[in-house]
C-alpha cells in the first residue's frame, strides 16, 4: 500500500481548512488559524503558510456566489482547462491528459502536505451514541421505565420510613401450616420473622426486571450494528493505480489507498472500477459510460467525455466529471481528483440527512398506555387508601400505606417491558430468517402498521440490470422480406427464449456477439463472467443464449472468418457502433452496425420501402410501449469493395461503403422486475397497504413496469382524478414543494387540496429528484389517510434515497447494492435486496403487533382480581391475596406466558385486513381495556370469590362472624387456606385467559367452526410451568413460608378447575356470536357493494374485521 512520505499509517489529522470532514474545500473550519501542533504535522510556520496558500488556491474551484458555509455541491472544476487544473493543484499532466508516459502527478512531498491539510478521503459517518450511554438511556429513560423506577423508589422509601413492626407483623410465619386441620397452627422454635423482610423482594425484583429488559434491547440492537459492520467490511475497496513524482521529479507509478487520495492526484480507472473520489476526466476512451444510479436512481448508463464544459453548466450535468461511489461501466480513463471525503457530491448528501428520526409508533403507543395505566394505578391506590381507612380490620399506618402501595403497584404491568422487548427480539430474529435485518427493534411493530409503501424502482422492484426481453427478426431475410412476410417477435418466457425459431435468430445473435464491447469469460469454476456496460452485456448474454451458451458464442467470435478487423466505437454523436469482420485481404469481409434505430435504419435498404418501414416502426412502438429500450442491428457484405486498410470515424470520412445495409433485427432491452415482486405487491394491496413507485426514470418506463407488477391497473380507472394523478412527474412537483423543511398547518389551500388528491390516487412518481422523494414521504405523513396521515415506509438503495429513508417511519435499505449512506439512514436492511422479503416483513410485523396486543390483553386480565381483595375488606372479607402472591403471578408466571405469545402463529386472514393505524386505533384502546378489565377480569374475579368461599371450608363462616384483629390472629390457618385457594383459582383463570386471548374471533376448541387449537408449543409449556409452580408454592414448605401459602386438600385443588372450564366456555360462546354477527355484516356490505356496482379495492374483502370493535 502506498503512503505519502512521512505519513504514519492510519493517521487521521486534525483538519485545518477545507476538505476536512464536515467542511467544504474553500471554506475555513472553526478555529482555523489555531492549528494543532505535533511532531508529525505543522511543526513550523512555513508549513502553516503553505497550508493557507493551498486553501486560497483551492478557492478558485468554487463559484463566486459560494458561501463560506455552503451546503450545496458547487464547483467550477468542469469549466477549467487542463492547464488551469494543473495550475490550481500544482500538479502535472502529460500526453494530452493520458499521463501514461512522462513525469506526471503530484510530488510525493506535496501529497503528504495535502493529506495533512485536507484530511483522509472518508465521509464522516453519522455520530453514533456511545454503547454504554445507550445502555444507560435504555435503562433509565423512557416514560414506562420512569414509571417503574418510581414504583421501586416508592417501595424503598416505605421500607426506610416504616421499619417498625405492626401488630400483624408479629404473627409467626416460620412454621408450617396444615390447612387440612383448620384452626391449628404448628409453631417452630425458630425466631419469629417479621413480614417486612419480604417487602425487600418487591423493589429488588422490579429493578431487576427493568435492568434485564434494557440489557436485552441493548444486546439486540448491538447485534444488529455488528451485523451492519460485518456487511461493510465485506465490501472492501481495492487500491487505486496512480502516478506521482519523487523528490527528483521523476515518474513513480503507485497504488494508493482510496482513503489517502488528495486533490490533485492523477489516477487511472477502468471498466468495473468504483470511483474513489470526485474526479475530473482528463482522458477517456470513446464511448465511456458510468453508472450513476447510486446518486440519481436512474439505471440508464451515462456517457462521459473530456470536453471542457461551458460556464453556467451545473456540475451534476457535466460529462467530464465522475463522482465518488459510482461505477465505470465501459471504457477507461485518466482522471485528476478534485474533491474528497465530505466535500464530494456523495458527502454533501450524507451530511444533509443528519436530522432526528421520526418517533416510532411503538413509542407513541407505550406513552399512551403508560398514561392510561398511571391514571388507573393512582385511582386504585387512592381508593385502596380509603378502603383501608374504612376497613373493619384496624391497621397501623405502615400497614395501610403498604396495602395501598400494593394495590397501586398491582395495576402496573411490571412484566410489560421485558415482554415487549423479548417479543420484538424474537420477531426480529424471525425476520432475519426472511433476510430482513432489523437495526432498531421497535421498527418491527411499526412495520406492521405501515399503510403506504414508497419504493424506489431500480434495484428494488427491478433487478437493476439490463436484460434482453424481445428479439425481432424478419420472417424472410433479404430485400423486400420485411414488407412481404413481416416480422417475427420472440419474447423471453420463464427466463429464457423459446428456440423453435432458432434458425431465424442465428444471424441476429451472431451480429450481437461480434458487434459488442462487452467481454465474456469462463472463470475457473466454469461460470460465465461478463464485463462491460449493462446494455452490451445484456445483448451478449442473449446472443450467447440463442447460440447455445457462452462456450459456443466464444467459439463463433474467435473463428478466423469472424475476426474483428476494424471498429468505430459508439459515441454520443453517431449513436451507433460499427465493426468489420473477416480475414484480412479476403473479399468475404462484412460490416455489422448496431445502435439507435433512427440512426441505423437510414443506412439500410429497407428505409426506401415504406411498407417495410411501417412494419418495423410498428414493432418498435410496441416494444417502447412496454418500456423497452430498442437497438437496431444491420449487416452488409463488402465483397470486392474492401480497401487494403480500413479508416474513418463516420459516414463522411470512412473509406468503405456505408449504405445498402440489410436490416437484421431489433433487441428489446429493459431492467426487468424481480421475481416474486408482482405477487408481493398484490399481497401488500390485499393487506390494505398502498404500494407507490418513486423513481428517477422516465414516466413511460415507470408506468409500464408499474403495470407489470400490479402497482397500476392494466385498464385506467373510470375516475377522472385517478387517471390524472396515477402517474405524477417531477415537473408537476416543482411548484408543490413546501416553503420550509416540512409541510406546515397553514399551507395554502390549493397546495393542501392538490396533495390530498395526490396521496389518494397517485401510484407512480417519475423523474423525481432526491428532495422530491423526501417531500413525497412528508406529504403522505401529513395529508394521507384522509388527513390523519399515513404510516409510511420507504425503500431505497442509493444516496438519493437517504433523506426519504430518514423521514419515513420505517426506512428500508438494500443490503447488497445499497450505499453505506442509505444503510445508516435506514431502520431495516434487506439482506437479499428483495422487495418480496419486506412484504413478508410486514406480515411478521403485523403478527408481532397483534401478538403484542394479545399479550397485553392477557397481562391486564388479572389486575381486577388482584385488587379486589383490598376493596372487599370494606365489607369485612378476610385477606385473600398478599403482595408476594401478586408478584408471583405477575413476574413468576405471567411474564413468561406473555413472552410466549411472540411465537404465536397468525390467526386466519391476518394479511387480508387493513393495517391498524396507531393514531386512530391504539395498541391499548378501549376495546382492550373493556375485554381485560370489564370482561375476562370480571369473570376471573367472580370465580376467585366463588372458590374462596366454597372451596375453602370455614371462610364464609369466618366472614359472617365479623373480622377483627383478634379474629384474624386466631384463624391464621383458615385465612392462609383461603388465600391459597384464591391464588390457585386466579392462576387457573390466567391460563384460561391465555388460551382465550390467542384468538379474537376464531374458535380455539372448534365450537361451530374450524379449531385454531393450541399450536404454540412454547405457550403450552408455559401452561405446564404455571401449574407446576402453583402446586410447588402450595406443597413445598420453603415456598409456603415465602409466599404465605399452605397445603390444600385434593378437593380444594380440583374444585377451582371449574373456573378454567367456565371462562373458556363463556369465551367460546362469545366468539361464536361475534363470528355470526361479522358474517351478517359482511353479507350486508357485499349486497350494498353489489348494488353500487363495485366496492373499494382499498378496503379489501376482509377489511371490516380489524376495523370493528372487538366486543361490540
Q: What is the mean pLDDT of the chain?
A: 79
- pLDDT tens, residue by residue, 429-441: 888 888 888 887 7
Q: Is 122 exposed, middle or buried (0-12, 13-18, 19+ CB in 10 A)?
A: middle
Which of 199, 456, 697, 1105 does the annotation list as catalytic?
A: 456
Does residue 270 carry a pLDDT above 80? yes
N-terminal to C-terminal alpha carbon distance within the chain: 73
- pLDDT tens, residue by residue, 772-808: 888 999 999 999 888 889 999 998 777 777 778 888 8
Does residue 1109 carry a pLDDT above 70? no
Contact 256, 240 (CB under 8 A): yes
Taking residues 573-577, report their average pLDDT.
83
Taking residues 173-187, report their average pLDDT.
43
Residues whose CB is less than 8 angstroms from the CB of residue 107 and which lie 6 or more positions away in sequence, other chains included: 244, 245, 246, 247, 249
Q: Is 456 a known active-site residue?
A: yes
pLDDT confidence of 525, banded at 50, 70, 90? Answer: low
CA-to-CA separations, 673 to 620, 681, 687, 986, in angstroms, rounded: 21, 12, 21, 56
Taking residues 677-689, report their average pLDDT.
91
Which H/E stretch holds residue 694? strand 690-694
The reported pLDDT for the residue numbered 41 is 40
Phi, psi of 424 (to 5 degrees): -70, -35
Does residue 42 carry a pLDDT above 90? no
For 651-689, give the DSSP string. TTT-SS----BEEEEEEEEE-PBPTTHHHHHHHHHHTTP
Q: Is 1085 exposed, middle or buried (0-12, 13-18, 19+ CB in 10 A)?
A: middle
The reported pLDDT for the residue numbered 822 is 79
Q: 155-169, 292-306, 726-740, 772-786: which has the highest mean pLDDT?
A: 772-786
- pLDDT tens, residue by residue, 868-915: 887 887 777 888 888 788 878 887 788 888 888 888 888 767 788 888
d(CA 695, CA 711): 13
The reported pLDDT for the residue numbered 198 is 43
pLDDT confidence of 192, banded at 50, 70, 90? Answer: very low
The reported pLDDT for the residue numbered 224 is 63
The reported pLDDT for the residue numbered 490 is 92
Q: Which residue has the higher pLDDT, 277 or 815?
A: 277
Which H/E stretch holds residue 147? helix 143-161
Bridge partners, 810 (sequence order): 793
Query: What's the chain's length in residues?
Result: 1112
The reported pLDDT for the residue numbered 23 is 33
pLDDT confidence of 298, banded at 50, 70, 90? Answer: low
What is the pairing mode between strands 302-303 and 289-291? antiparallel
Taking residues 989-1006, report their average pLDDT.
90
Q: 57-66, 67-76, 126-135, 488-497: which has the highest mean pLDDT?
A: 488-497
- pLDDT tens, residue by residue, 386-416: 877 777 666 677 777 777 776 777 777 766 7
d(CA 670, CA 538): 9
The reported pLDDT for the residue numbered 1082 is 73
- C-alpha grid cell, residue 387: 378502603
What is the pairing mode between strands 828-830 and 810-814? parallel
- pLDDT tens, residue by residue, 947-964: 999 988 788 877 877 654
pLDDT confidence of 725, banded at 50, 70, 90? Answer: confident
Q: Is 84 exposed, middle or buried (0-12, 13-18, 19+ CB in 10 A)?
A: middle
Q: 214-223, 352-361, 520-529, 602-611: which has the highest mean pLDDT?
A: 602-611
Q: Which residue has the higher pLDDT, 953 or 746?
A: 746
Does residue 203 carry a pLDDT above 80? no
pLDDT confidence of 273, banded at 50, 70, 90? Answer: confident
Q: Is 861 exposed, middle or buried (0-12, 13-18, 19+ CB in 10 A)?
A: buried
Amino acid at each position: 500500500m502506498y503512503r505519502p512520505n512521512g505519513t504514519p499509517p492510519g493517521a487521521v489529522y486534525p483538519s485545518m481548512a477545507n476538505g476536512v470532514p464536515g467542511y467544504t474545500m474553500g471554506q475555513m473550519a472553526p478555529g482555523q488559524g489555531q492549528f494543532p501542533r505535533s511532531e508529525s504535522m505543522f511543526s513550523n510556520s512555513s508549513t502553516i503558510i503553505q497550508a493557507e496558500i493551498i486553501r486560497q488556491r483551492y478557492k478558485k474551484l468554487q463559484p463566486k456566489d459560494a458561501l463560506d458555509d455552503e451546503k450545496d455541491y458547487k464547483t467550477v472544476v468542469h469549466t477549467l482547462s487542463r492547464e488551469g487544473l494543473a495550475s490550481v493543484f500544482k500538479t502535472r499532466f502529460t500526453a494530452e491528459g493520458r499521463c501514461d508516459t512522462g513525469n506526471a502527478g503530484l510530488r510525493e512531498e506535496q501529497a503528504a502536505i495535502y493529506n495533512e491539510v485536507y484530511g483522509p478521503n472518508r465521509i464522516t459517518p453519522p455520530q453514533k451514541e456511545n454503547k454504554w450511554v445507550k445502555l444507560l438511556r435504555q435503562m433509565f429513560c423512557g416514560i414506562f421505565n420512569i414509571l417503574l423506577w418510581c414504583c421501586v423508589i416508592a417501595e424503598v422509601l416505605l421500607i426506610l420510613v416504616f421499619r417498625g413492626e405492626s401488630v400483624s407483623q408479629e404473627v409467626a410465619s416460620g412454621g408450617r401450616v396444615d390447612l387440612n386441620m383448620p384452626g391449628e397452627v404448628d409453631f417452630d422454635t425458630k425466631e419469629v420473622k417479621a413480614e417486612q423482610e419480604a417487602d425487600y423482594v418487591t423493589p429488588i425484583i422490579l429493578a431487576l426486571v427493568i435492568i434485564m429488559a434494557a440489557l436485552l434491547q441493548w444486546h439486540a440492537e448491538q447485534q444488529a450494528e455488528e451485523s451492519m459492520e460485518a456487511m461493510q467490511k465485506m465490501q472492501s475497496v481495492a487500491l487505486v493505480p496512480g502516478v506521482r513524482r519523487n523528490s527528483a521529479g521523476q515518474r513513480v507509478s503507485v497504488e494508493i489507498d482510496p482513503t489517502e487520495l488528495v486533490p490533485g492526484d492523477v489516477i487511472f480507472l477502468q471498466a468495473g472500477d468504483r470511483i474513489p473520489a470526485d474526479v475530473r476526466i482528463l482522458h477517456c476512451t470513446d464511448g465511456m459510460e458510468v453508472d450513476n444510479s447510486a446518486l440519481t436512481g436512474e439505471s440508464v448508463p451515462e456517457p462521459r467525455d473530456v470536453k471542457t464544459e461551458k460556464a453556467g453548466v451545473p456540475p451534476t450535468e457535466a460529462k467530464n466529471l465522475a463522482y465518488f461511489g459510482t461505477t465505470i461501466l465501459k471504457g477507461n480513463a485518466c482522471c485528476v481528483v478534485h474533491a474528497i471525503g465530505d466535500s464530494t457530491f456523495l458527502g454533501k448528501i450524507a451530511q444533509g440527512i443528519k436530522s432526528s428520526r421520526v418517533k416510532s409508533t411503538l413509542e407513541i403507543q407505550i406513552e399512551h398506555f403508560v398514561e392510561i395505566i398511571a391514571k388507573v394505578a393512582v385511582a386504585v391506590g387512592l381508593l385502596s387508601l380509603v378502603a383501608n381507612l374504612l376497613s373493619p380490620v384496624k391497621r397501623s399506618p405502615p400497614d395501610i400505606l403498604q396495602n395501598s402501595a400494593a394495590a397501586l403497584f398491582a395495576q402496573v404491568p411490571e412484566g410489560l417491558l421485558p415482554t415487549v422487548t423479548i417479543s420484538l427480539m424474537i420477531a426480529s430474529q424471525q425476520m432475519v430468517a426472511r433476510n430482513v435485518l432489523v437495526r432498531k427493534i421497535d421498527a418491527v411493530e411499526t412495520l406492521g402498521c405501515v399503510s403506504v409503501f414508497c419504493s424506489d424502482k431500480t434495484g428494488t422492484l427491478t433487478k437493476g440490470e439490463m436484460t434482453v426481453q424481445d428479439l425481432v427478426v424478419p420472417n424472410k431475410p433479404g430485400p423486400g422480406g420485411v414488407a412481404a412476410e413481416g416480422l417475427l417477435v420472440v419474447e423471453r418466457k420463464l427466463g429464457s427464449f423459446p428456440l423453435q425459431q432458432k434458425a431465424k435468430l442465428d444471424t441476429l445473435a451472431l451480429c450481437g456477439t461480434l458487434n459488442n464491447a462487452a467481454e465474456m469469460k469462463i472463470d475457473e469454476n466454469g461460470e460465465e463472467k461478463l464485463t462491460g456496460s449493462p446494455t452490451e452485456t445484456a445483448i451478449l448474454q442473449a446472443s450467447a443464449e440463442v447460440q447455445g451458451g457462452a462456450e459456443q458464442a466464444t467459439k463463433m467470435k474467435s473463428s478466423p472468418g469472424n475476426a474483428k478487423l476494424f471498429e468505430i466505437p459508439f459515441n454520443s454523436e453517431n449513436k451507433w457502433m460499427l465493426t468489420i469482420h473477416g480475414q484480412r485481404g479476403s473479399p468475404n469481409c462484412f460490416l455489422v452496425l448496431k445502435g439507435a434505430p433512427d440512426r441505423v435504419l437510414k443506412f439500410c435498404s429497407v428505409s426506401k420501402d415504406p411498407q417495410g418501414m411501417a412494419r418495423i416502426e410498428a414493432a418498435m412502438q410496441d416494444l417502447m410501449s412496454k418500456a423497452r429500450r430498442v437497438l437496431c442491428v444491420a449487416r452488409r457484405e463488402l465483397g470486392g469493395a474492401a480497401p487494403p486498410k480500413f479508416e474513418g470515424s463516420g459516414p463522411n470520412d470512412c473509406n468503405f461503403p456505408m449504405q445498402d445495409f440489410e436490416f437484421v433485427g431489433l433487441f428489446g432491452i429493459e431492467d426487468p422486475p424481480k421475481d416474486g415482486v408482482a405477487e408481493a405487491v398484490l399481497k401488500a394491496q390485499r393487506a390494505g397497504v398502498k404500494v407507490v413507485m418513486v423513481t428517477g426514470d422516465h414516466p413511460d418506463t415507470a408506468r409500464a413496469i408499474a403495470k407489470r407488477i400490479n402497482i397500476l391497473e392494466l385498464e385506467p380507472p373510470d375516475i377522472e382524478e385517478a387517471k390524472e394523478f396515477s402517474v405524477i412527474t417531477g415537473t408537476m412537483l416543482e411548484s408543490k414543494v413546501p416553503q420550509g423543511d416540512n409541510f406546515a398547518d397553514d399551507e395554502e389551500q390549493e397546495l393542501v387540496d392538490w396533495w390530498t388528491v395526490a396521496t389518494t390516487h397517485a401510484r407512480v412518481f417519475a423523474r423525481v429528484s432526491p428532495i422530491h422523494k423526501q417531500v413525497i414521504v412528508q406529504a403522505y405523513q401529513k395529508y394521507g389517510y384522509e388527513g390523519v396521515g399515513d404510516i409510511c415506509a420507504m425503500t431505497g438503495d442509493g444516496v438519493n434515497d437517504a433523506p426519504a429513508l430518514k423521514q419515513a417511519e420505517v426506512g428500508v435499505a438494500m443490503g447488497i447494492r445499497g450505499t453505506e449512506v442509505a444503510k445508516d439512514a435506514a431502520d431495516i436492511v434487506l439482506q437479499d435486496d428483495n422487495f418480496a422479503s419486506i412484504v413478508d416483513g410486514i406480515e411478521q410485523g403485523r403478527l408481532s403487533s397483534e401478538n403484542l396486543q394479545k399479550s397485553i390483553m392477557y397481562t391486564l386480565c388479572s389486575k381486577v382480581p388482584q385488587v379486589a381483595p383490598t376493596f372487599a375488606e370494606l365489607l369485612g372479607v378476610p385477606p385473600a391475596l398478599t403482595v408476594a402472591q401478586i408478584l408471583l403471578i405477575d413476574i413468576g408466571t405471567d411474564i413468561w406466558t406473555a413472552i410466549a405469545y411472540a411465537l404465536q402463529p397468525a390467526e386466519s386472514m391476518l394479511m387480508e385486513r387493513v393495517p391498524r393505524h396507531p393514531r386512530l386505533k391504539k395498541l391499548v384502546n378501549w376495546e382492550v381495556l373493556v375485554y381485560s378489565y370489564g370482561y375476562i377480569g370480571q369473570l376471573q374475579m367472580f370465580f376467585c370469590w366463588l372458590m374462596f368461599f366454597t372451596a375453602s371450608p370455614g371462610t364464609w363462616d369466618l366472614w359472617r362472624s365479623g373480622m377483627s384483629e383478634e379474629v384474624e390472629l386466631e384463624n391464621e390457618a383458615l385465612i392462609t387456606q383461603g388465600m391459597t385457594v384464591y391464588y390457585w383459582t386466579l392462576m387457573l383463570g390466567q391460563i384460561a385467559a391465555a388460551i382465550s386471548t390467542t384468538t379474537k374471533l376464531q374458535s380455539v376448541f372448534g365450537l361451530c367452526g374450524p379449531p385454531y387449537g393450541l399450536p404454540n408449543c412454547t405457550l403450552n409449556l408455559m401452561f405446564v410451568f404455571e401449574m407446576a409452580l402453583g402446586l410447588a408454592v402450595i406443597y413445598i414448605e420453603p415456598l409456603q413460608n415465602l409466599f404465605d401459602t399452605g397445603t390444600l386438600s385434593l378437593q380444594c385443588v380440583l374444585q377451582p378447575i371449574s373456573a378454567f372450564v367456565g371462562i373458556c366456555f363463556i369465551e367460546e360462546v362469545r366468539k361464536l356470536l361475534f363470528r355470526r354477527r361479522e358474517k351478517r355484516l359482511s353479507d350486508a356490505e357485499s349486497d350494498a357493494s353489489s348494488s353500487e356496482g363495485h366496492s373499494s379495492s382499498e378496503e379489501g374483502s376482509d377489511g371490516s374485521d380489524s376495523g370493528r370493535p372487538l366486543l361490540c
